[in-house]
Amino acid sequence: MHPDGWPALSEFLTLPGAVDASGADAGTPAHYGNPVAEQRALAAGGAIVDLSSRAVLTVSGDDRLTWLDSLTSQSIAALPPGESAETLLLDPHGRVEHAIKLLDDGAVTWLLVERDQAAPLLAWLLRMRFMLRVEPEDRTADYATVATLGSVADLGLPVAAPNGVPLHWTDPWSAVTAGGYGYARAEPHPGSDWHESEVLVDRTALPTLVERVAAGELSAAGVLALEALRIAAWRPRFGAEVDDRSIPHEVDWLRSAVHLNKGCYRGQETVAKVHNLGKPPRRVVMLHLDGSDAVLPAPGSVVSMTRDGETVPVGAITSSAMHHELGPVALAVIKRAVAPDAVLTVLADDVQVAAAQEIIVPTDAGAVADVPRIPRLGRVTR
């Protein structure tokens, strides 16, 4: 164990060529020496990705699903055993505090979250128990997450099933979920081909998985490969696209993590108001970057546009990668009012990198109710 109590560095880092990732994925391999080949293998469904640096929480007790339903954005009160969902915990102003990948096995609800979410989310859940029959717990020391875009059964992954139901989470991003709403207008949506699975395995099974990779029975890809494909699918990630101002509409998260017709939960008023009457202040875009300078802007790099002869900051890169087909790409969150045809640049290593927008959340997103505005009292109308 690390001094902070987090499980030790992943066994996958002992494989030949493994390079440790940084940031939220530190402790797992970024790549094994050939990120592009790993990305192609992952896209073809023939590789696995070690996500054991991420956290696993559980909630047991008879009230677990109705309790979580009352607290978060998705309708999960009647979630059947084995089915997957995604939900958001919002603050009272509708800002995203936590994003949760969720799976119930009939006895326990399993929450897959980013490493940095684990402690604050668990503490908040423990405070919110009141007299209900719920028991939140951190199970990261016992279970690890492994991802693939292929068939879990064909790859022979040792999926944990402590209560008889395999803990196999399937990402709902490929289609708009029931009660959700998609702002993106691209047809087909790039996410329609995004079929990520995240499975929980007993941490004691990780060395055997590593041995199978070393023996050539399995292929492994680093998290850089998964990130590149995620960006191309326009799929938001809490550890990347979210900051302390983010609301779900800005990254098109109503598509998979929000049910617009469920009961009251914290932040619901903002969700409904922005969707029906307002517009999100920012929007996520995918950027196709000029690769002639061989510079890939890092997350946090400033996105700018030229206006009246001046360079004006309009947003920032949230994720970037070298895609095996598209070349250098990024997700960025920019001001909503930036014109779709605006010429953008990204400052990276003192180099201005040209960037072309691919629209995800359009400038007119929101206000779907199309309710006519009522004139203010005393205003003269014609």
The type of residue at 359 is I
Q: Give me the domain span that covers residue 159.
A: 11-241
Q: How far apart are CA 31 and CA 38, in angstroms?
A: 8
Q: Are residues 80 and 214 in the same domain?
A: yes
Within a domain: 27: yes
Look up residue 349 and give its two tokens: 């290593």
Give the residues of the chain that fall short of pLDDT 50.
Answer: 1-4, 371-382
Asked, for residue 340, whether it belongs to a domain, the answer is yes
Q: Are residues 205 and 308 in the same domain?
A: no
Tokens of 171: 């990402």
For the stretch 178-195, pLDDT in tens is 999 999 999 999 999 999
User: Both 228 and 307 in a single domain?
Assistant: no
For residue 61, the tally of other CB atoms under 10 A from its CB is 16
Q: Is 49 a domain residue?
A: yes
Contact 224, 321 (CB under 8 A): yes
Domain contains 379: no
> Do 212 and 321 share a structural domain?
no
Domain of residue 349, CATH code? 2.40.30.110
Q: Do 199 and 83 belong together in one domain? A: yes
259 falls within a domain: no
Both tokens of residue 334?
A: 């920019």
Per-residue pLDDT at 263: 85
Give the burial class of 178: count Cβ atoms within 10 A of its Cβ; 0-12 exposed, 13-18 middle, 19 or more buried.
Answer: exposed
Tokens coding 218 = 């399995």
Q: What global pTM score does this model have?
A: 0.94
Residue whose C-alpha is closest to residue 137's, from 190, 242, 61: 61
Query: Same domain, yes or no, for 203 and 351?
Result: no
Same domain for 233 and 338, yes or no, is: no
Angle of CA points 27, 29, 34, to nearest 5°:
160
Q: Of 212, 241, 270, which one is at a domain's C-terminal end?
A: 241
Residues 21 and 87 in one domain: yes
The residues pairing with 47 across neighbouring beta strands, listed in sequence order, are: 219
Both 196 and 286 in a single domain?
Answer: no
* Residue 307, pLDDT score: 86
* Torsion angle of the four alpha carbons 375, 379, 380, 382, in this order, in degrees rounded to the nearest 10: -20
Measuring CA to CA, which residue among 37, 39, 31, 34 is closest to residue 13? 31
Residue 256 to residue 250: CA distance in whole angstroms: 13
> Is 273 part of any domain?
no
- 215 with 301, same domain: the answer is no
Q: Round to whole Å and give the CA distance between 277 and 298.
A: 35
pLDDT score of 7: 61
Q: What is the CATH number of the domain that holds 180?
A: 3.30.1360.120
First-to-last C-alpha distance (Å) of the chain:
72
Q: Are 135 and 45 in contact (CB under 8 A)?
A: no
Cα–Cα dist 124/127, whole Å: 5
**Does any domain span residue 309?**
yes
Tracing tokens 């779907």 back to the chain, one arrives at 368
39 and 182 inside one domain: yes
In a domain, 87, yes or no: yes
Beta strands in the chain (DSSP E): 19-20, 29-31, 47-50, 55-60, 84-90, 96-104, 108-113, 135-138, 143-148, 168-170, 197-202, 219-221, 282-289, 302-307, 310-323, 327-335, 344-348, 351-359
Rounded to 5 degrees, φ, ψ at 262 are -90, 180
Count of CA atoms in the C-beta half-sphere (13 A) of 360: 27
User: Cα dihedral sign for 152, 157, 162, 167?
Assistant: negative
User: Which pLDDT value is given to residue 2?
Assistant: 43
| Total tally of structural domains belonging to the chain | 2
CB 368 within 8 A of CB 359: no
User: Do 317 and 339 meet the contact criterion of CB atoms below 8 Å apart?
Assistant: no
Give the pLDDT of residue 374.
Answer: 43
Q: How far apart are CA 138 and CA 5, in angstroms?
A: 12
11-38 pLDDT, tens digit per residue, is 999 999 999 999 999 999 999 999 999 9
**Cβ–Cβ contacts within 10 Å for residue 267, how many?**
23
- Does one domain contain both 304 and 231? no
